[in-house]
Amino acid sequence: MPKRGIREYASQDIVVGFEPARCIHAANCVRELPAVFDVDRKPWIDPEGASADAIADQIARCPTGALTARTPNGDPIDRVESGFSVAEVPDGPLYARGDFTLVDDDGEAFPAGTRAALCRCGASANKPYCDGSHTDAGFTT
């Protein structure tokens, strides 16, 4: 599958990838590591703002997989625990973590990585991913 609009921000030690179509603005990154992730700054990601380890740790907490990390030579930096888990967000998506592949009805694989926020309200324009439409749809569980 082709890259889906992934933007990259590089330092000497880490390359941060950001896929806007997968971001549902959980804002963990902005709250927890504002020296790197600041939506009021252009560009909003500064990979020089913290150590590569701190950035990789923060990216591992991104529930959607919109943020990724790799070394400058292309090796992925992934800090997701082994196994597979799904967590239901009240009135929101399912957060999937681990080693998994999403496949459509035709057997075509979606890019998933190791984290994804999956739509369960049916209103997302970015299925199978959540796009935050559950809020406007009044989805509750």
Q: What is the pTM of this model?
A: 0.85
| Segment 9-13 long-range contacts (CB within 8 Å, at least 24 positions apart) | 9/43, 9/45, 9/46, 9/47, 10/47, 10/72, 11/47, 11/48, 11/52, 12/72, 13/47, 13/51, 13/52, 13/71, 13/72
Taking only the tens place, the pLDDT of each residue in 59-75 is 999 999 999 999 999 99
Taking only the tens place, the pLDDT of each residue in 76-111 is 897 777 789 999 999 999 999 998 888 988 999 987
Task: Count CB neighbours of 81 within 10 A.
Answer: 10
Residue 76: inside a domain: no
124 and 97 in one domain? yes
Residue 57: inside a domain: yes
13 and 57 in one domain? yes
Residue 105: give its domain's CATH number.
3.40.5
Residue the block writes with tokens 């927890």: 32
